[in-house]
Amino acid sequence: MTVAGVVEHLALDVLAEGDLSTLVTGGYCSDLLSDVLAHAGGGDVWITHQRHMNVVAVAKLKEVAAVVIVRGAAPNEQMVERARAEGVNLLMSGESAFQAAGKLYRLLSG
Amino acid sequence: MKRLRADLHIHTVLSACADLRMSPRRVVHEARRAGLALIAIADHNAAANGPYVRRIARGNPAVLLGMEIQSQEEVEVLALFDDEWACLTLEEELYKDLPDVDCDPDLFGDQVVVDEQDNIVRTVRKLLISPVPWALPDVVRRVAQLGGWSVPAHVDRVPGGLLAVLGLLPEGDWPEAAELSPWSSANDTIEQWPALGRLSLLRASDAHFPHEVGRGWTELRVTEPSLAELRAAVQGVEGRSVSLGPPCKEGR
């Protein structure tokens, strides 16, 4: 499954497009960036409420496949621009973290 | 130039999680007991008891007004002010934007404004320990606009500290300094978070109970106990300096 496939199946908005053909190997849910630094894996789709600029830096460092901001809480333009500049796939879901993670889990296990 | 002790993070009864004995009078008494020359009152997202503390203390100790603001990201920030109007203006702005959730005293404790004579002036309706819906950079910017100064509170705490929540220090020239938890060793903390090595570290008590006032402190080498001098000390202006008091050994 690629990021593009996840975007389609979860009906996500693409806020910033890096490489949508990146392979998705897992998922991680957390709003604590220190926890993401310690435990997320490369290739994960990272599901979060956080909209601070450091999200982009952490996503880049961990080489996650994509970041999904949930509940339709749009980040500011600065963060979107940074994600674009860094080639990070920044996505948004109108659903809750629970729903987005549930759908992703089913998709990756299926 | 004088050497003096500062404790820049003290709660009062306005914080639901603080002891009901933490009235402005008691806080001043405890600060004098602890030999503090400068204190800051920092209740959760609220500042209303600070002016009473300042009026009781009459310079002994000098009192900064402040708040411990919880940003949208759930990062806790100490916002410190000399100017009463500026601090109370920010308090009002934050209160307007706080989620409209009542504080249930049975669950959370009381949020009480108390005057110089230990009289209850009012209780605060909304739950003050909710995060305000302001992004961290907006909190920092607004504090600065109003002439205040902000630093991450207990920067090494998990969760609630900036590093746990944001993983890395933000880009840019904020913060200049950071408050360390009362129990943390500076060396161990810097080893864990090397980026902190470039900041001035401040220790404070984060007191919620009377006996905790002054359990963490920072020594300032300054001309007088004020916010301007604190900032100059953090920047090392003309021989001014800050040095961290020892870690607190108990009460974790």
Domains of chain B: 2-244 (3.20.20.140)
- The beta-carbon neighbor of A57 closest among B72, B135, B168 is B168
For residue B70, how many C-alpha atoms fall within 13 Å in the half-sphere facing its CB?
18
Residues of the domain holding A54: 3-109
List the single residue in B with minimal CA-CA distance to A39. B167
List the single residue in A with minimal CA-CA distance to B73. A50
Peptide bond between residue B137 and the one before it cis (omega within 30 degrees of 0): no
* pLDDT on residue B60: 98
Strand partners, B200: B177
Range with the poorest average pLDDT among A90-94, B125-129, B158-162: B158-162
**Based on C-alpha coordinates, what's the Rg of chain A?**
12
| B46 φ, ψ (degrees, to nearest 5) | -155, 150
Token couple for B164? 């746990």
Record: contact B167-A36, CB cut-off 8 A = yes
Quickly tell me which residue has 């109370």 as its tokens.
B88
The shortest C-alpha distance from B104 to chain A (Å) reads: 26
pTM: 0.94
Cα A72 versus chain centre, distance: 13
* pLDDT on residue A102: 98
Q: Residues B44, B12: contact at Cβ < 8 Å?
A: no
Residue B64 has pLDDT above 70, yes or no: yes
Record: contact A54-B166, CB cut-off 8 A = yes
Pairing of strands A66-69, A26-29: unpaired
Residue B218 has pLDDT above 90, yes or no: yes
pLDDT tens digits for chain A (110 residues)? 999 999 999 999 999 999 999 999 999 999 999 999 999 999 999 999 999 999 999 999 999 999 999 999 999 999 999 999 999 999 999 999 999 999 999 999 97
* pLDDT on residue B250: 77
Query: Which one, of B180, B155, B150, lies nearest residue B166 by Cα?
Result: B155
Record: contact B165-A31, CB cut-off 8 A = yes
Q: Is A50 on the interface with B (CB under 8 A)?
A: yes
- Mean pLDDT for B227-236 is 98
Residue B7 has pLDDT above 70, yes or no: yes
* pLDDT on residue B251: 66
Among A28, A30, A34, the strongest candidate for a mutation testing the B interface, having the largest count of B CBs within 10 A, is: A34
Quickly tell me which residue has 């190997």 as its tokens.
A25
Token couple for B173? 């020239």
Quick count: other Cβ atoms within 10 Å of Cβ B120? Answer: 12
Q: Is A31 on the interface with B (CB under 8 A)?
A: yes
Per DSSP, the three-state class of B76 is strand
C-alpha separations of B125 from B53, B111, B112 in Å: 22, 8, 10
Quote the mean pLDDT of chain B.
96
**Residue A70 belongs to domain with CATH number:** 3.40.1390.20
In chain B, the percentage of residues whose pLDDT exceeds 70 is 99
Residue B170 has pLDDT above 70, yes or no: yes
Where would I find the H helices in chain B? 24-33, 50-57, 84-97, 105-108, 136-145, 162-166, 186-192, 227-235
Among B74, B76, B154, B168, the strongest candidate for a mutation testing the A interface, having the largest count of A CBs within 10 A, is: B168
Residue B160 has pLDDT above 90, yes or no: no
- The beta-carbon neighbor of B167 closest among A37, A51, A76 is A37
Q: Which of A57-89 are b and which e, b meaning 16 or more Cβ less than 10 Å from the residue's Cβ?
A: bbbebbebbbbbbbeeeebeeebbebbeeeebb
B81-97 pLDDT per residue, tens: 999 999 999 999 999 99
Number of domains in chain A: 1
C-alpha separations of A49 from A35, A93, B130, B234 in Å: 14, 10, 16, 34
